[in-house]
Structure 1
Amino acid sequence: MQDQIIDLALELTKVTKAKIADLDQIMLRTQILSMNARLEAARAGEAGKSFTIVAQEMGSVSQEVTALSASLNAAITENAARIQNAGNDMSITFRGSRYADLARNAVEIMDRNLYERSCDVRWWATDSAVVDAVQSPGADAAAHATSRLATILRSYTVYLDLWIADRSGRVIANGRPERYRDVVGADVSREDWFRRGLQTADGDSFVVCDVETAPRLGGAQVATYATAIRAGGATRGEAAGVLGIFFDWEPQARAIVDGISLSREERACSKVMLLDSRFRVIASNEPQAFGQPYALDPRDEWGHTVRNDKIVAYGLTPGYETYRGLGWFGCIESPAHLAS
């Protein structure tokens, strides 16, 4: 709508200036006629005196109309520029607000997805096969746990793998040993997900780590969730190990980024991103941007700024139900002025 208003105003200006130009041509012809009339009157001598007065008045009127035309043309040019500037400001404000809504919606969709992951890890940590693997360690218990994890993975395709680590931080079972052969026996005691998972307060608690690449999972981008495996699967039971689940981040995040409702023109020249709490790119329509810092300076939980002739719109994660979110932002960067 704003663009239509600008276009109409500029078209009106164009038509008006064209008519003024036509008027200027008529006045020029009038001035020439007035000059010729004065010359003919001078040749006529005494008989042409009265006509000389008329010719002079014609010249005066023509000059006044020409001056008025020039003033009108200047006023129209100035006001047209003001209309265009106001229209551009309206367009930027409108697009910035729309982009901010889309950015917040994108991160909210991801939060709803990740809320389910937080439910999964707490539920599966109470599975009897998982609990037995750390409480009654042995080959049979590990094999049963591996089978159980594999069954879960066949149903929950958004995960790359599920790992069970004992209290010392040694992985004793995973769901895809045929794909990830170096997992069982690995020491994960120094990894963030294990240390924080072991320290969870109870069975209702969980931890989630920043999105990172996982060397033992083929360098894939993962969001890792963890919680303690507790004695007897009880909510207040003693921590006997840790369950870590590895969400296959890249395809899920790409689907959300690519699904944002931008026009073809907007998408061609815009960056669409998810940023973590450190303003690090964790998803983008430019895949090579993963892990790079982005200079976002949010002034509120939602909004937009104009920087270097670009609209930068953002929305902070609102969280979802009991999942408070991780301080992530959806972000869209787009040229302030789209090509016509």
Structure 2
Amino acid sequence: MLPAPKKPVLIHDVIASTTRVRQSAAKNIDGIHSVTTQLRVLALNALMEASRAGDHGRGFAVVAEEVKKISGDVETFARALSKDLGGEITSLDELTRRMAAEANGRRMIDLALNAIELLDRNLYERTCDVRWWATDSAVVTALDRRASETADHAATRLAIILKAYTVYLDIWICDLDGNVVANGRPDRYRVAQTSVADRSWFARAKALPDGDAYAVGEVAAEPGLAGAQVATYAASIRRNGNSSAPPLGVIAIHFDWQPQAHAILRGVRLTDEERKRSRVLLVDSGGLVLASSDGQGALAERIPIAFDGRQSGCDIDARSRLIAFHHTPGYETYEGLGWYGVIIQDADRST
């Protein structure tokens, strides 16, 4: 039978062991002080008795004086030991705690990276989806042959897509003027014939050079989707689905931002104890909260983080909170949007 694997030594265990050594040393040094005090009292009593015995007690007096001297030497040694050992244990304790803080900081940076990486991979798939669906024949025909039946057919096709891809709230087909021609959930979102010409994602998508490119809007509350927070990805719809053909319009897919981002943040591998005192966030380059593990502050709260051009870092703020962050690394052809994964963690008061 193979021996059971040894439990890894954690810095927290070292801190606890150091504390026990400190307590044990203090207890035993106190014991030495107690014994030497008793010896001094005993020597004093012996000297008094020797004095009463006169000449018969002189030999005993010599022994008593030696006991008194030895007890004084032991007391001096105990005090020196207490000072030296106490200082070394304090230094070791501080060093261990600093190592623990640094190790925890590195781990939080890694977890912040993990959060933004998971999001990047998720959003990379959105860029693939929108470019693929822009070439769907029903989507192209809805703009190439403008008629109610082609729009209805496209809406039916989009509804089928939405049943399979539950991460989207809706998909819109827009002409070059920004009018919504068809959408996948017309029973829920009555956006057909409304204008989205003022949306940033539409303007970006309309200016795309070819069908291989895509545009991304900022995470925002979309009025056409009952104010839901969405990340919108858009691509140009081109004649015959040909990447280099003239554009006919724009397709926009609305990623259901809040629940998807929140699920990623809640899935960050913190311990139960860490989770109670930690907040995991996705923020933009200016510190605006895009999503948070506690569900608070999205698109309203700004975290005062001094990124200072750093890709990653770990700081302690004025409230003694650890703030770890990592910049988006991107994924495949998706370069990310300049966002950061962030973990804000209150100090551990248990050590």
TM range (shorter): over 0.9
The separation in 1 between residues aligned to 2:125 and 2:94, in whole angstroms, is 47
Match of 1:290 among 298, 301, 305: 298
The separation in 2 between residues aligned to 1:3 and 1:195, in whole angstroms, is 54
After the TM superposition, which residues 228-267 of structure 1 pair with which residues of structure 2 at under 5 Å, given as runs?
228-267=236-275
1:319 paired with 2:330, answer yes
Q: How far apart are residue 221 of structure 1 and its match?
A: 1.3
Amino acid at match of 1:192: S
The separation in 2 between residues aligned to 1:338 and 1:104, in whole angstroms, is 26
Contact between 1:276 and 1:327, CA under 8 Å: does it hold in 2? yes
Runs of 4+ residues over 6 Å off in structure 1: none
Q: How far apart are residue 140 of structure 1 and its match?
A: 1.6
Task: Give the aligned partner of residue 189 of structure 1.
Answer: 197
The root-mean-square deviation of aligned C-alpha atoms, in Å, is: 1.5
The separation in 2 between residues aligned to 1:197 and 1:32, in whole angstroms, is 94
Match of 1:22 among 21, 31, 47: 31
Contact between 1:92 and 1:336, CA under 8 Å: does it hold in 2? no
Amino acid at match of 1:94: A
Compute the TM-score of the two structures, normalised by the length of structure 1: 0.95
The separation in 2 between residues aligned to 1:228 and 1:56, in whole angstroms, is 103
Q: Which moved more, 1:145-154 or 1:303-312?
A: 303-312
1:79 paired with 2:88, answer yes
The separation in 2 between residues aligned to 1:215 and 1:164, in whole angstroms, is 17
The separation in 2 between residues aligned to 1:21 and 1:239, in whole angstroms, is 87
The separation in 2 between residues aligned to 1:129 and 1:72, in whole angstroms, is 86
Q: Encode CA deviations 1:106-136: one digit per residue, 9 max, x unaligned.
A: 1111111111110111111111221122222
Compute the TM-score of the two structures, normalised by the length of structure 2: 0.92
Contact between 1:306 and 1:336, CA under 8 Å: does it hold in 2? no
Task: Give the aligned partner of residue 304 of structure 1.
Answer: 314
Amino acid at match of 2:18: A
Amino acid at match of 1:275: V
Task: Give the aligned partner of residue 122 of structure 1.
Answer: 131
Match of 2:215 among 207, 211, 217: 207
The separation in 2 between residues aligned to 1:226 and 1:339, in whole angstroms, is 49
What SS does structure 2 have at the residue aligned with 1:164? strand
What SS does structure 2 have at the residue aligned with 1:289? coil
Q: Which moved more, 1:303-312 or 1:169-178?
A: 303-312
Contact between 1:210 and 1:276, CA under 8 Å: does it hold in 2? no
After the TM superposition, which residues 94-173 of structure 1 pair with which residues of structure 2 at under 5 Å, given as runs?
94-173=103-182
Q: How far apart are residue 338 of structure 1 and its match?
A: 4.5
What SS does structure 2 have at the residue aligned with 1:240? strand
Segments of structure 1 that go 5 or more residues without pairing to the other structure are: none
Q: How far apart are residue 276 of structure 1 and its match?
A: 2.0
Q: How far apart are residue 247 of structure 1 and its match?
A: 0.5
Contact between 1:92 and 1:311, CA under 8 Å: does it hold in 2? no
Aligned residues: 339
